[in-house]
């Protein structure tokens, strides 16, 4: 259980200061904020709401942290360090941390979120092409590849919105301004939002641990004539989602060892590792141990648990789901599974013969 208390400067760089339930504090790289800095819960309530960002009111963060048993130091600055919003919808109260909203707004989150803490983040991410008389945004970032565009989370429309609407642009710039004051906070844009709020039901409010924006409808006119301006900006590709059950449990027959365990042996990993790597275009090191990731994917598929509720040795459900999707798209996951079936099938036969 973690809570990002705010932003600090160490070694000339910005870091997130994170506190856990045991009172220990530490510094976490901003590149990790897409998956760290908020409490995680096993059972969540999930509701889709339509709200205006102007109805989000900053409140005392202790309303949120006390529920999770995180005893933030009794310091006014620290309580303001991570902004928590309170919003009402249909008679229910939701407490929403700023980091949950940042993860939902700045997509793709693992690539873009940490960039927003730097100065002129939008200008470093995109530029406006006026060659045809009107402004068209060009996303000029290393992560803006075709593989990213194939994912179901739309990011081009949201970036166009933030580039062309004044309060949305100020919202993007506010992340850096607040970070310079040591705060994890943002000034919300003037718009209506269709958003899924997920969290745990407390005695007086839902403590939101995750937010997913489905669409944004600005309450203002764009001040730049950007090509492709839409009245309603989609954050989710609904054509991709149509006909799919996004909460469907994905499972498959996973061969286990004779004692029922699933973890790879050294010999099995030696046979499978080259298959999973495939024909990689660039030889850079992986951030997470691929063997541990594969073990986590095997365990999730064998149990039939959802990605979110399964447990992993490294990373979290996002890392495991992304790895599985990448391996499946390459066609290497099925190859690895067939090799594993052969190796474990042979072991079972030998064991039976003994």
Which residues make Cβ contacts (< 8 Å) with residue 155, sequence separation at least 6? 107, 108, 112, 148
**What's the count of helices (H) and strands (E) in the chain, helices before strands?**
13, 12
Residue 191 has pLDDT above 90, yes or no: yes
Enumerate the β-bridge partners of residue 84.
59, 97
Helix, strand, or coil here: 226?
A: strand
Mean pLDDT of 12-32: 87
The larger pLDDT score, comparing residue 241 to residue 340, is at: 340
CA 151 to chain centre: 13
pTM over 0.85, yes/no: no
Residue 181 has pLDDT above 70, yes or no: yes
How is residue 56 written in tokens?
Answer: 């989000």
Report pLDDT for 211: 92
Mean pLDDT of 35-48: 84
| CA gap 17, 24 in Å, rounded | 10
Mean pLDDT of 87-97: 94
Mean pLDDT of 210-214: 91
CA angle at residue 326 from 313 to 274, to 5 degrees?
Answer: 75
Residue 279: phi, psi to the nearest 5? -95, 80
Residue 43: phi, psi to the nearest 5? -110, 125
Residue 189 has pLDDT above 70, yes or no: yes
Which residues make Cβ contacts (< 8 Å) with residue 203, sequence separation at least 6? none
Q: Which long-range contacts (CB under 8 A, 24 or more apart) does 226-232 make?
A: 226/128, 226/134, 226/135, 226/136, 226/137, 226/160, 226/163, 226/164, 227/132, 227/134, 227/135, 227/136, 227/137, 228/136, 228/157, 228/160, 229/160, 229/164, 230/157
Among 179, 210, 193, 208, residue whose Cα is nearest residue 82: 179
How is residue 47 written in tokens?
Answer: 């509701």
Look at 84-98, 170-184, 317-331 and tell me which has the smallest mean pLDDT: 317-331
| CA gap 80, 103 in Å, rounded | 19
Helix, strand, or coil here: 48?
A: strand
């Amino acid at each position: 259980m973690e809570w990002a208390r705010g932003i600090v400067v160490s070694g000339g760089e910005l870091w997130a200061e994170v506190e856990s339930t045991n009172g220990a504090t530490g510094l976490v790289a901003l590149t990790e904020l897409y998956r760290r800095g908020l409490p995680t819960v096993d059972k969540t309530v999930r509701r889709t709401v339509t709200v205006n960002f102007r109805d989000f009111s900053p409140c005392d963060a202790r309303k949120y942290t006390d529920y999770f048993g995180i005893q933030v130091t009794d310091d006014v600055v620290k309580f303001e360090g991570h902004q928590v919003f309170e919003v009402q919808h249909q008679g229910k109260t939701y407490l929403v941390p700023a980091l949950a909203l940042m993860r939902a707004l700045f997509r793709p989150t693992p690539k873009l979120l940490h960039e927003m803490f730097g100065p002129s983040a939008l200008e470093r991410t995109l530029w406006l092409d006026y060659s045809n008389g009107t402004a068209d945004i060009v996303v000029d970032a290393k992560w803006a590849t075709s593989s990213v565009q194939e994912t179901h989370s739309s990011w081009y429309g949201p970036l166009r919105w933030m580039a062309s609407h004044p309060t949305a642009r100020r919202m993007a710039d506010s992340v850096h301004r607040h970070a310079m004051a040591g705060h994890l906070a943002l000034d919300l844009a003037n718009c209506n939002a269709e958003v899924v709020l997920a969290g745990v039901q407390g005695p007086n409010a839902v403590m939101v641990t995750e937010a997913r924006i489905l669409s944004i409808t600005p309450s203002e006119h764009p001040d730049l004539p950007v090509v492709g301006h839409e009245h309603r900006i989609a954050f989710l590709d609904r054509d991709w989602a149509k006909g799919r059950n996004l909460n469907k449990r994905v499972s498959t027959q996973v061969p286990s060892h004779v004692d029922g365990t699933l973890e790879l042996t050294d010999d099995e990993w030696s046979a499978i590792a080259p298959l999973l790597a495939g024909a990689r275009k660039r030889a850079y090191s992986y951030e997470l141990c691929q063997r541990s990731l594969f073990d986590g994917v095997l365990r999730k598929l064998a149990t039939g648990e959802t990605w979110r509720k399964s447990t992993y040795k490294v990373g979290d459900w996002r890392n495991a789901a992304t790895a599985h999707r990448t391996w499946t798209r390459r066609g290497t996951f099925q190859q690895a599974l067939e090799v594993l079936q052969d190796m474990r099938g042979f072991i079972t036969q030998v064991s039976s013969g003994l």
